[in-house]
Amino acid sequence: MAEPKNDDFLDDIEAAEAEELAEELAEIESEAAELDALRAERDALKDKFMRALADAENSRKRADKQRREAEQYGGSKLARDILPVYDNMKRALEAATEEHRDVASALIEGIELTLRELLNVLAKHGIEPVSPQVGDRFDPQVHQAMFEAPVPGTKAGDIIQVAAEGFMLHDRLLRPAQVGVSSTPAS
Distance CA 140, CA 166 (A): 12
| CA angle 37–41–43, rounded 5-degree value | 115
User: Which of 185, 186, 187, 139 shows the shortest CA–CA distance to 162?
Assistant: 139
Assigned CATH for 74-182: 2.30.22.10
What are the average pLDDT values for consecutive 10-residue runs of the chain, which has 187 residues?
61 78 83 90 95 96 93 88 94 92 92 96 94 94 94 91 94 95 80
Predicted pLDDT at 2:
46
Alpha helical stretches, state H, the chain: 2-73, 76-95, 98-103, 105-124
Distance CA 137, CA 159 (A): 6
